[in-house]
Structure 1
Amino acid sequence: MDIVVEAIFNFFTIADTEVISLAWELMKNQEPDGGPRTSAPADRTDALWGYRNKGKVKKYFGTSGKAVGQMYDPLGICSTACDDLVVADRGNHRIQIFDVNGRVKGCFGSEGTAEGQFDYVQGVCLTSRGGIVASELLNHRIQIFDEHGRFVREFGGEGSGDRELNCPIGVATDESGLIYVCDTGNQRIQVFSEEGKFVRKFASEGLARPNYLSVTPNGRVIVSDLRIHKVHVFDSQGRHLFQFGTKGANEGQFEEPSGVATDDHGNIIVCDSDNGRVQVFTSDGEFVTCFGSDLKPEGVCLLSGGQIAVTDSGNDRVQIF
């Protein structure tokens, strides 16, 4: 499969010279000139301090269109070990890979039902080997590719039985390599091995429309629920622990929550899509902060330097905070 290895397009950087930003960089043991940080924030307090000072866009890239580097309704996003960004370019039925500065490093997929084709790719995540997992809304399947975009395998197919899917959206992997899928139309979560073997499934009476999900280092499964404007928290075996959020625009409320991400401390980052913002919560669901404006956030992931990458489907771009 052809891989586009390089393309250059409009890229914008917004200067951030406020004293508070400098203090945050120093706290992270990062040089003031932007040199790499070699370790994560020392503790959860440091991480929360950093989130509370988010809000200013550091970079954004992408324009609306079909050319390589352009996007049309980008949704899922995940980051690699070297901070490349894998983006589900849903409206163009493809996956694009960017470096953190917005240069295209890979592009694969087209509209269709064959291996390597997509019918509205929705969610993306990485396997334990660095391969790419992608969910397809209307082909009702999961496809796995290697890190270069070469097709490896697929599983799923429309239905409601074990290993069958109905409009899957979010995907995530845990530290053991298991793949978790929001089987949205069937109102459940299914878990598979990297080889596509069914492992287990779970749901709860309150799970109405599972949208996106993330798995914490200790195995908790965080699921956004688009229909009832909540976030659910399950343990590693699928037992429902608690939920948080209500419909609304106040702090801690949601209007159609979408992408979710978690950090090493279990803090939860949620794309509050129809409120046009990103919200941050502790692992217990307590509100910490929110940020963002002039965007429709759909997917979210974390970068090694504490930055947060968000797909902005309303403006067909990726923003980095």
Structure 2
Amino acid sequence: MESTLTSELLQCAICLGELDNAYALPCLHSFCSPCLQGHIGVSQKRVSKTLKLKRFPCPTCRVWINSPVRGVADFPKDFRVVKMKDALREWKRKGSHQRIVTCEMCEQDCDSPVEHYCADCQKHLCSQCIRDHDFTSVLSTHIVISLSSTQNGNQSKICSVHLNESIKYHCQTCSLGICVKCIRETHKIHQIIDLDYHSKLKKVEMRNCMDQLRTQNSLLVEVMFNLNSIEGHIRGQHEQIKLQIRKHSHRMINHVYKEQNRLLSEADVHYQQRYEDINSRKEDCQKYIYHVTELQTRLESLLRVQDADTVVKNNTSLVKESQDTELVEKYSKDLVDVPKCAHFMSNNVGKIGHIISRDEETAKPSCADLHQKYGRSDRIQTFEKVLKVTQKTKLIHDSKGIADPVLSYASDDNPVFPVARLLCQIGDRGSKLYQLSLPYGIAFTEDERLVVAENGTGRIQVYTKDGLFLRVIPLPTSCPRSLSLLRENKVVFTDENEKCLKILDVDTSQLFSVSAGHMEKTVSFPFGVASLSDGRFVVSDMIYETVSITTSTGIAEKQLGEEDPSNTYDNPSYLATDVEDNIFVSDSGSHRIKVYDKHGRFLFQFGNDGVKEGHLRYPKGIAVDKTGLIYVADAGNDRVVVFSRLGFFLTVLADKNYGLVRPTGLAYSPTGLLAVSMPDRHEVFVYQLENSIPRQL
């Protein structure tokens, strides 16, 4: 019995010796304290580069277990081993050669000998009780020792042929255990080996099988991990596809609503015109009816008069008036002429339809119409005087029917446009001082200090306008993206980590967070931000592609374009405001700049996909000076372009010939400084704008 317990239950799988000072792992396998400590030291691995947590595999089942901080002492001691050793000592004390004939559970003699002992219950059991013991769920995990095979540690099985001989050899030819007499008789020419040696060979074979099973189990665990990863990837793709479907469906629905509203408006206009025309005819007809009825009454009255002199006297005037009424006949056709009504023509693709009328010509918008709709007349006149625009204006219409104004200048005029002179160049790739890492957001303070938000290192750097380094403000938990200037040398930026707005005091480095709870109800992923003069914010959402006006605490007040469901966005990014609190939205995916007033009402838009003058390609940052000139970072075309306050293209301020590569952020100062950030190059260029502002405006 002692040898069986030692080899099967009390053996350490690492040193193959008897368990000494055993500790149990979470997987319930036990090992010697020094063996386990040595195994942890050579097999533990770090979970990830960022976490300090380490793990090691169980030597038996290969399950990964977190490494203890204080060593094996953190694991519980295996008291089962202690109990089994106590049971073994008790067995030695009583004498293993004595057969127990009384079951300690039923406490009565039985025909079959008692051959089992439960180390946990510390009871000897008969064959009937051991079955009940094993089928009881609470007792099924106990360690049960068979006594029939351990009556004597050195007792061997008896040969089935020679009953007075024990089996000490194994015949490999017959695969049978034999005694020494069998070797001399029936197994003389067979392959015979020692039984203990044969047993060791079998154990080696079984250990090899166990190693193979462990290897297969490890591979299967790795496969299961990969399958779980694939499942997560598929689930993520599924959610992304559903989000794309919802967004695309939303755009299509908004487009249908836009077309519906347009057609209904056109139908209302046509109806109103016809209705007013019919009302005018009805009024004219009613006048004729009244006149004819009155004349008829007078004639009837005159016919009843008996005085001949009165009849003759009034006859001439009444007859003449009656003859004049015959002129009505030539108007009768006009009065009852059915007007050519509007008809609805449906389309299969694109717009859902259009309104046509045979007696109507297609109206083409003129430049004056655009001026009247989007600008103010007094400013337009001043603008035209400054730029000396010719009377002829070119309108380029895209597929959506929206005009992008491009000015045509007289050949003998030289309008004054902004000219950029490089003042300084800031940054280089890196995380040290004077170096930048993904500088997306930039802004000038009131005293013309340049504030640069680094998305890659999570910090704010402050420079002079000449590019001299002043200070760095670390933001360990933030990932700043877009930046906008507030009053009193404060800036507000979007934090990609916490998905909220944060306000930073550049002078004191104090950081304030706009309520994240409110922002969650407003935007899902705040990207661009701009501030209004009353303290409110304008925030763009990259996930749901919306632009919202919020209070200073992040509570949503209005979503731009909500009155017109068709006014949707495609990747809205950077925002800007002017001195009148007009809001400029860089709708990068549609290659346009959209303009709203401070109440969120749509004013106009400009730009179109292309490389020509007046075209944009994935516009990013926007800056507006005090006179209304609009500076746009045309990232896709590697340039910065200037537009008038009405969206007319003026000039290219700087392009790749100036060293610009995908310009992203823009910042303007009142003294005519313009900063341009280039995250791809990890640099910021500062320009001095000369002859930049038409002061008459």
Pair 1:176-2:539 in alignment: no
Asked which structure has the greater CA Rg, the reply is: 2
Pair 1:97-2:430 in alignment: no
Inter-partner Cα distance in structure 1 for 2:448 and 2:626? 16
Inter-partner Cα distance in structure 1 for 2:502 and 2:511? 8
**Shift in CA distance, 258/153, structure 1 to aligned 2, threshold 3 Å:** same
Match of 1:207 among 544, 569, 577: 569
Q: Which moved more, 1:183-192 or 1:246-255?
A: 183-192
The question of whether the paired residues in 1 share the 8 Å contact of 2:626 and 2:670 is answered with no
Inter-partner Cα distance in structure 2 for 1:256 and 1:292? 15
The question of whether the paired residues in 1 share the 8 Å contact of 2:625 and 2:670 is answered with no
The question of whether the paired residues in 2 share the 8 Å contact of 1:139 and 1:158 is answered with no
The question of whether the paired residues in 2 share the 8 Å contact of 1:140 and 1:158 is answered with no
Inter-partner Cα distance in structure 2 for 1:51 and 1:257? 24
Pair 1:143-2:509 in alignment: no
Q: 1:307 maps to which residue?
A: 673
Pair 1:286-2:648 in alignment: yes
**Shift in CA distance, 304/229, structure 1 to aligned 2, threshold 3 Å:** same
Question: How far off is 1:104 after superposition?
Answer: 2.4
Q: 1:118 maps to which residue?
A: 478
Structural mapping, 1:7-156, within 5 Å: 52-111=417-476, 117-119=477-479, 121-147=480-506, 148-156=508-516
The question of whether the paired residues in 1 share the 8 Å contact of 2:631 and 2:643 is answered with yes
Using the size of structure 1 for normalisation, the TM-score is: 0.77
How many residues are treated as equivalent by the alignment? 269
Q: Structure 2: state its 5+ residue gaps.
A: 1-381, 388-413, 688-697
Using the size of structure 2 for normalisation, the TM-score is: 0.37
Structural mapping, 1:251-270, within 5 Å: 251-270=613-632
1:24-78 CA distance string (max 9 Å, x none)? xxxxxxxxxxxxxxxxxxx9759xx998242442221111100122111111111
1:266-319 CA distance string (max 9 Å, x none)? 211100012111011011110011123232211111123212111122221111
Secondary structure of the structure 1 residue equivalent to 2:434: coil
Question: How far off is 1:159 after superposition?
Answer: 7.8
The question of whether the paired residues in 2 share the 8 Å contact of 1:74 and 1:316 is answered with yes
The question of whether the paired residues in 2 share the 8 Å contact of 1:166 and 1:183 is answered with yes
Q: 1:37 maps to which residue?
A: none
Inter-partner Cα distance in structure 1 for 2:592 and 2:529? 18
Inter-partner Cα distance in structure 2 for 1:61 and 1:91? 16
Q: Which moved more, 1:62-71 or 1:143-152?
A: 143-152
**Shift in CA distance, 157/184, structure 1 to aligned 2, threshold 3 Å:** farther
Inter-partner Cα distance in structure 2 for 1:127 and 1:303? 13
* Structure of greater relative contact order (alpha carbons < 8 Å, 6+ residues apart): 1
Q: 2:600 maps to which residue?
A: 238
Question: How far off is 1:86 after superposition?
Answer: 1.1
Inter-partner Cα distance in structure 1 for 2:485 and 2:462? 12
Secondary structure of the structure 1 residue equivalent to 2:521: coil
Q: 1:186 maps to which residue?
A: 544
Question: How high is the sequence identity, in percent, across the aligned residues?
Answer: 26
**Shift in CA distance, 156/191, structure 1 to aligned 2, threshold 3 Å:** farther
Pair 1:272-2:634 in alignment: yes
**Shift in CA distance, 151/138, structure 1 to aligned 2, threshold 3 Å:** closer
Indicate the structure with greater strand content. Answer: 1
Pair 1:161-2:521 in alignment: yes
Q: Which moved more, 1:201-210 or 1:62-71?
A: 201-210
**Shift in CA distance, 292/157, structure 1 to aligned 2, threshold 3 Å:** farther
Name the aligned partner's letter for residue 550 of structure 2.
F
Q: 2:684 maps to which residue?
A: 318
Q: 1:229 maps to which residue?
A: 591
Secondary structure of the structure 1 residue equivalent to 2:543: helix
Name the aligned partner's letter for residue 156 of structure 1.
A
Secondary structure of the structure 2 residue equivalent to 1:300: strand
**Shift in CA distance, 286/221, structure 1 to aligned 2, threshold 3 Å:** same
Q: 1:40 maps to which residue?
A: none
Secondary structure of the structure 2 residue equivalent to 1:255: coil
Secondary structure of the structure 2 residue equivalent to 1:181: strand
The question of whether the paired residues in 1 share the 8 Å contact of 2:429 and 2:681 is answered with yes
